[in-house]
Amino acid sequence: MTNTNDSMKTGYAQKRKAINTIVYIILSVMVVIWIVPIIWLILQSFNTEMGVTTKFFPSSFTFDHYIALFTDEQYPYGKWILNTFMVAALSCVISTLFILMVSYALSRLRFKVRKTFLNLGLILGMFPGFMSMAATYNIMDIFGLKQQLFALVIVYSAGAGLGYQVAKGFFDTIPRSLDEAAKIDGATRNQIFWQIILPLSKPIIVYTALTTFTGPWADYIFVSYFMKDNESNWTVALGLYKMLDKEAISTHFTTFCAGAVLIAIPITILFIIMQRFYVEGVTGGAVKG
Amino acid sequence: MDYLDYVQMTKGQRFAYRIKSFFTGIPGAIKKFFAIVGAIVKKIFLGLGHFFQNYGGRFVKGDIGTKLSYVIMGAGSMLHGQIMKGLIFLATEVAYIYFMITFGSYYLARIYNSNMILLTTTKTAQGYEQWGTGALGKEVAVHHTGTFGSELKNPDTYDDSNKVLLFFVLTCIVTIAFIAVYIANTKSAYASQQLKREGKKPLNFLQEMKTFLDERFHVTLLTLPIVLLITFNILPIIFTIFMAFTNYDEKHQPPANLYQWVGVKNFADVFYSNPMKSETFGKILIWTLIWAVFATFTNYIFGIILALLINKKGIKAKGFWRTMFVVTAAVPQFVTLLVMKLMLDDKGAVNSLLTSVGIPAVPFLTNATWARITVIVVNMWVGIPYTMLITSGLLMNIPEDLYESARIDGANAVQQFTKITFPYILFVTTPYLITTFVGNINNFNVIYFLTGGGPAVSEYYRAGKTDLLVTWLYKLTVDTKDYNLAAVIGIMVFIICAIGSLIAFNMSKASKNEEEFS
């Protein structure tokens, strides 16, 4: 401690600068590790070769694979996109409605089986999601929905009532005095739900809609079991997975890359815009425990 | 040991104490699990007791209309002037009786039998002879000794076991729903009787309907979600739990080969009686737990470190750094994981890079040990951005005056982290940590897309070295159709998750009392 005050300050600033430089280096290295596979995917989607390459940079570029996606009859990517979109959109509408209804009822209304339902949600949530897949398939068969896209919509949205936690946490934060004031003015609970609570809940509606859309959009498990050999009802996740089969990969790898890039773009943009809601959804529930 | 002892311990001792209390907490949590199950059972019986008390009491105090509605549903409502409501009750009763006669009783009668068909036993000169009544009342001889177990191969004359089991569960659910309506009927009859005695008029139908938009709005909101939940979620789960007690495997695929009840044989198989299955289950269970611990804590710790680096004072372009990592989290997992799989292939991009700089190729996904390390590392690649995203927000929420007072007291950066930042984050994210742990036990994507559970080994029953319980479950369901074994594993995963959540919940409650943040 023989240093003067001044040199201590500059020493401190230098030390801090050095630490920051190290941090920048670490961050840059990490970004490279994280972003390289994505860039590799994008580069390969323009590669003129058809199979898997070991080289990082393609030797020549082409746009053909993106065109092939929509012209290849063996792998009807356009049809898959349409299937995926219809299933995801319909599940999203039904699930969002269900989640809002259930979480509103559990958050704002008081009735006898409320606690039972809360516990039931907790218990059912601990079963592996696809454990009863075979049984569900049998039920769909009986309803005449075997290998139908609508069966997927039902599977994705039937359990939506259990995903009430995040939205319920949000509704819990809206002051109860609002409801009471409206009640004094003669509003029914039905009117309070539609005219007072829902207009205040835009963030949570957006969040719920997003998660219920992206879930089916990227699901592989149920599609792979429900649609097994009915190729015209495949969705993108299953179709792309099949492009990497042993017999297909040597001719379809780059097409796979193009297809993966295409479906990743909208989801990525949505997620980046909506990351705030995502964080609020997860931690908002967490803070309240 | 009380709180004072705990405070006096050194850091190492505290850590050891925590670890010890985690493991000593496991039997307690298991005990608690069964205690909760016991409490639920007790509650059910108490509820039943109350129910019969009220049920009988209403009958005794009821007038003729109320008493009549114990047999003819809706009679009370109609006699008390609620015609429409009474008719709806009556229609429900008629519909239920019709359902039971034409449909329900058929399947209820068949479920008792281990072959899921209706059996009648008659004495013959040689001994016993049993007759099975299959679909359409067709009679067929089944067994002559009265022992069950041989396979049935007569698709025309028997019902599909799937149908029998499924419709049995359905009939049970319909019956429970009917009992609920029946109780509502007696309650409503008694309520309207009391209103009449007080000289008031019971609500008419239109008024009653209006209560569904106000006092009973929860019924309107919950009915449709619950009906769908029961049909497509609870019904299949109960069905699957029943499957665990049958021999519904690849050799018994109805309608060609029916399956039968086998009792707890499948559970015995998985625990001890079938060496191959029990070894596979034990080893996969251990790997699943190892995986879940590593996957959860590597992501958690490195995610927090990354968030701290990005949010460090003096680091510029925070938004840029964050977005770079978020992009990888946003791309659908099956895409990124399949890309990783191709890059880490024996002849993939990473290995060709390694060989070009003179390092021998690494069997990332084909050697058991390497594959296990690879899945954990790739899982970090997938999961760290998520943790970073979530903890970034939390870091900004820590009250600044905590740090200020710490600095005045002379705390250095490391002390600030261990005394303020980390306890705070741990406190706020404990529930998140629990859900991630349970989520990792059920983590399908990373394992299935990367290694497909492989490398497969012959001493495992249809599984590979990196298979988790859930991916094994998936393979048994989709590839080999061992539905009974898959159901057993599903039940085991449920029990593990339930016990794990209980331990974690207890621990987080303890830490909440210790650290006073809120």
Q: What is the mean pLDDT of chain A?
A: 86
Same structural domain, B259 and B280: no
- Backbone φ and ψ for B122, nearest 5 degrees, come out as -130, 150
Does A2 have pLDDT greater than 70?
A: no
What is residue B468's predicted lDDT score, i.e. its pLDDT? 94
What is residue B146's predicted lDDT score, i.e. its pLDDT? 37
Q: Give the chain B residue nearest A274 (alpha carbons).
A: B330
Q: Is B336 exposed, middle or buried (0-12, 13-18, 19+ CB in 10 A)?
A: buried
B338 vs A101: CB contact, 8 Å cut-off?
no
What is residue A202's predicted lDDT score, i.e. its pLDDT? 84
Same structural domain, B470 and B429: yes
Chain B residues inside the 8 Å CB shell of A111: 218
Chain A residues inside the 8 Å CB shell of B353: 56
Q: Give the chain A residue nearest B249 (alpha carbons).
A: A134
Does A76 have pLDDT greater than 80?
A: yes
In one letter, which amino acid is A71? Answer: T
Same structural domain, B92 and B18: no
Distance of residue B146 Cα from the nearest chain A Cα, in angstroms: 30
What is residue B150's predicted lDDT score, i.e. its pLDDT? 43
From residue B490, alpha-carbon distances to A162, B108, B469, B476, B496 in Å are 19, 26, 8, 11, 10
Same structural domain, B67 and B46: no
Bond from prior residue into B455 cis (ω within 30 degrees of 0): yes
B221 vs A158: CB contact, 8 Å cut-off?
no
Domain ranges in chain A are 67-288
Residue B103 to residue B117: CA distance in whole angstroms: 14
Distance of residue B450 Cα from the nearest chain A Cα, in angstroms: 12
A52 vs B321: CB contact, 8 Å cut-off?
no
Among candidates A52, A188, A283 on the partner chain, residue whose Cβ is nearest the Cβ of B394? A283
User: Lowest-confidence range among A12-16, A63-67, A241-245?
Assistant: A12-16
End residue of a domain, out of B263, B294, B319? B263
The reply to whether B442 falls in a domain is yes
What is residue A287's predicted lDDT score, i.e. its pLDDT? 38
Residue A131 to residue B477: CA distance in whole angstroms: 8
User: Lowest-confidence range among A6-10, A69-73, B69-73?
Assistant: A6-10
Dihedral sign of CA atoms B387, A267, B471, A145 in order: positive
Residue A231 to residue A241: CA distance in whole angstroms: 13
The reply to whether B123 falls in a domain is no
What is residue A5's predicted lDDT score, i.e. its pLDDT? 60
Same structural domain, B467 and B481: yes
Same structural domain, B372 and B444: yes
Contact indicator for B259, B246 with CB cutoff of 8 Å: yes
Domain that holds residue B351: 272-514
Nearest to A191 by CA among B224, B213, B223: B213
Residue B463 to residue B270: CA distance in whole angstroms: 14
Among candidates B225, B315, B336 on the partner chain, residue whose Cβ is nearest the Cβ of A20? B315
Among candidates B214, B324, B498 on the partner chain, residue whose Cβ is nearest the Cβ of A126? B498
Size of interface A-B (CB pairs under 8 A): 249
A56 vs B353: CB contact, 8 Å cut-off?
yes
Angle at which helix B161-197 crosses helix B83-99, to 10 degrees, equals: 160
Same structural domain, B48 and B161: no
Residue B472 to residue B444: CA distance in whole angstroms: 10
Tokens of B31: 């005990």
Q: How far is CA B59 from the centre of its chain?
A: 40
Neighbours of A233 (CB within 10 A): 20
DSSP run (H or E) holding B300: helix B275-310
Q: Can you give the three-state secondary structure of B415-430, one letter per residue? A: HHHHHHHHHHHHHHHH
The reply to whether B289 falls in a domain is yes
B332 vs A217: CB contact, 8 Å cut-off?
yes
Same structural domain, B495 and B461: yes
Q: Give the chain B residue nearest A217 (alpha carbons).
A: B332
A56 vs B349: CB contact, 8 Å cut-off?
yes
DSSP run (H or E) holding B304: helix B275-310
Dihedral angle over CA of B439, B444, B450, B455, nearest 10: 110
End residue of a domain, out of B199, B230, B263? B263
The reply to whether B140 falls in a domain is no
What is residue B203's predicted lDDT score, i.e. its pLDDT? 82
B166 vs A56: CB contact, 8 Å cut-off?
no
Among candidates B312, B390, B442 on the partner chain, residue whose Cβ is nearest the Cβ of A283? B390
Same structural domain, B377 and B255: no
**Neighbour-count burial for B86-113, b at 16+ CB within 10 Å, e otherwise:** bebbbebbeebeeebeeebebbbebbeb
Residue A154 to residue A161: CA distance in whole angstroms: 12
What is residue B230's predicted lDDT score, i.e. its pLDDT? 92
Chain B residues inside the 8 Å CB shell of A212: none
B332 vs A138: CB contact, 8 Å cut-off?
no
The reply to whether B83 falls in a domain is yes
In one letter, which amino acid is A262? Answer: L
B328 vs A224: CB contact, 8 Å cut-off?
no
Residue B436 to residue A189: CA distance in whole angstroms: 36
Among candidates B221, B314, B351 on the partner chain, residue whose Cβ is nearest the Cβ of A16? B314
CATH of the domain at B442: 1.10.3720.10
Q: List residues bridging with A47 in a β-sheet.
A: A61
Same structural domain, B284 and B387: yes
Residues of chain B with pLDDT under 70: 1-4, 113-158, 506-518
Distance of residue A73 Cα from the nearest chain B Cα, in angstroms: 22
Nearest to B484 by CA among B164, B163, B169, B262: B262
Same structural domain, B332 and B233: no
Distance of residue B407 Cα from the nearest chain A Cα, in angstroms: 15
Among candidates B221, B243, B324 on the partner chain, residue whose Cβ is nearest the Cβ of A34? B324
pTM of the entire predicted model = 0.85
What is residue B158's predicted lDDT score, i.e. its pLDDT? 64
The reply to whether B25 falls in a domain is yes
Residue A100 to residue A170: CA distance in whole angstroms: 10
End residue of a domain, out of B237, B263, B289? B263
Distance of residue B127 Cα from the nearest chain A Cα, in angstroms: 39
A220 vs B324: CB contact, 8 Å cut-off?
no
A134 vs B477: CB contact, 8 Å cut-off?
yes
A67-288 homologous superfamily:
MetI-like (1.10.3720.10)
Residue B368 to residue B458: CA distance in whole angstroms: 13
Contact indicator for B434, B512 with CB cutoff of 8 Å: no
B240 vs A132: CB contact, 8 Å cut-off?
yes
Strand order of the β-sheet with B118-123 is B118-123, B128-133, B139-141
Q: In this predicted model, what pLDDT tens digit does every residue of A31-67 receive, in sequence order? A: 999 999 999 999 989 988 877 777 778 888 888 889 9
**How many domains, in total, are found in chain B?**
3
Same structural domain, B300 and B246: no
Does A176 have pLDDT greater than 50?
A: yes
Among candidates B225, B235, B445 on the partner chain, residue whose Cβ is nearest the Cβ of A160? B225
Up-side HSE of residue A169: CA atoms within 13 Å toward CB?
17
